[in-house]
Amino acid sequence: MNIQTLNLSNKIQWKEYVNKFDNIDFHFHSDYHDLYKLRYGNSEPIMWVYENENNLFIYPFNITRIDLDIDKNKNYFDISSSYGFLGPASNTNNKEFILQAWIEFDKWAMNKNIVLEFIRFNPLLDNQNICHKDTSVEFNRLIGVSDLRGGKLDFINKIPSKTRNMIRKAIKNDFKTTKVNFNDVKKDFMNLYLDTMKRNKSTSFFDYDSDYFDKLAKFNETKFYGVYKGKELVAGGIFFASNNIATYHLGVCKKEFLTYGLSNLYLYDATMDFIKKNFFYINLAGGRTTSPDDSLLKFKRDNSTDLKKFFIGKRIINKEIYSYIINKFNLLKKNDKFIFYRS
């Protein structure tokens, strides 16, 4: 039996464990957690590892100190998935092994004064099925996913006719997609992205800065497909590509070109490129809200072959301390958020 807790100073070991899986995407990599450490400033990314003979269980998350005056002699923490699609992964469905992994994890969690756990599961893994028995699993929203294993014609036949019409409109107006090194366009993309986020009135969490895009540009897994008018970047999308799974990360389109179908065009051309490279899936993610009528979800649904369910998980590990927090700091619980005490 082998139990390890890896952080970003153990990137080589982290990568070695991730590489033992052939069905997990870039969200599980240490680089992805390093990227989102910029968004979770008071947290430390960790991957918890449990091995027994040839069976392997990994679980990446952020550990965050609870900034409340609970006990002057102790620090308490919560753990939560980074933004994206994560949760635990196991190379076996053996129930006894998974149960033992969680038993060992609970020992670690109690020793580290972990109060609660919040998980964003990965829809391509359906890993809510291997969560802890005490985890409350909740459906959160639908996401758009394309199964690419049927090839080009299968994909084209499965997307709606209106999407195909928008792609033809973009081509008719002399737009085309170019795959370029993201490092060469990161400034132009960042400016377009910030304009897009302002137009969509997004939360401050998505106001990514130059440090964020600098990190993105260094990843081998970052792929960029841009649409140009002359030499000007007017639309484009960033994808992560790992283990024959592509994940749509960020997309932009200049306001005056929104009616030309440019986002449909670069998503289609990126998909064709991933099909050529024998990728199995593209995860386009979901909408801005949990509503089934969310406009961004509708767009992603119209540019993918399937909809899949995205689940979240909530678990109170130390019920005594969680109850104490609620009772002592009840004025802070102004909403239904699980981690209600964070600003």
**Averaged pLDDT for residues 239-245:** 97
284 domain-assigned: no
* Distance from C-alpha of 57 to C-alpha of 199, rounded to nearest angstrom: 42
Q: Which two tokens stand for residue 267?
A: 């998503």
**Averaged pLDDT for residues 243-250:** 97
pLDDT for position 343? 63
pLDDT tens-digit map of 11-31 = 999 999 999 999 999 999 999
Whether 55 and 130 share a structural domain: yes
Whether 134 and 155 share a structural domain: no
Whether 6 and 137 share a structural domain: yes
Whether 127 and 156 share a structural domain: no
Whether 21 and 110 share a structural domain: yes
pLDDT for position 282? 98
Beta-bridge partners for 178: 226
- Check: CB of residue 164 under 8 Å from CB of residue 289: no
Phi first, then psi: give them for residue 140, nearest 5 degrees.
-105, -50
pLDDT for position 72? 83
Whether 45 and 119 share a structural domain: yes
- Check: CB of residue 315 under 8 Å from CB of residue 135: yes
| Strands 55-65 and 77-80, sheet pairing | antiparallel
Q: Is the pLDDT score of 332 beyond 80?
A: no
Q: Is the pLDDT score of 334 beyond 70?
A: no
Whether 56 and 126 share a structural domain: yes
**Averaged pLDDT for residues 110-132:** 97
Sign of the dihedral defined by the CA atoms of residues 265, 268, 270, 276, in that order: negative
> Is residue 89 within a helix (H) or strand (E), and if so which, with residue range?
strand 89-90
Whether 201 and 102 share a structural domain: no
| Strands 114-120 and 77-80, sheet pairing | parallel
pLDDT tens-digit map of 179-210 = 999 999 999 999 999 998 888 888 888 889 99
**Averaged pLDDT for residues 230-251:** 96
Whether 123 and 244 share a structural domain: no
Terminal C-alpha separation, the chain? 39
Whether 15 and 137 share a structural domain: yes
pLDDT for position 212? 94
SS3 at position 235: strand
Exposure string over 31-57, b if 16+ CB within 10 A, otherwise e? bbbbbbbebbeebebbbbbbbbeebbb
113 domain-assigned: yes
The CATH number that applies at residue 237 is 3.40.630.30
287 domain-assigned: no
Whether 127 and 248 share a structural domain: no
Quote the domain boundaries for residue 202. Answer: 149-279
305 domain-assigned: no
pLDDT tens-digit map of 127-144 = 999 999 999 999 999 999
- Number of domains observed in the structure of the chain: 2
Phi first, then psi: give them for residue 92, nearest 5 degrees.
-150, 150
What is the rounded radius of gyration, in angstroms, for the C-alpha atoms of the chain? 21
Whether 219 and 236 share a structural domain: yes
* Distance from C-alpha of 162 to C-alpha of 185, rounded to nearest angstrom: 30
Which residue is listed with tokens 């969509």?
Answer: 200
* Distance from C-alpha of 182 to C-alpha of 228, rounded to nearest angstrom: 14
**Higher-confidence position of 219 and 331:** 219
340 domain-assigned: no
338 domain-assigned: no
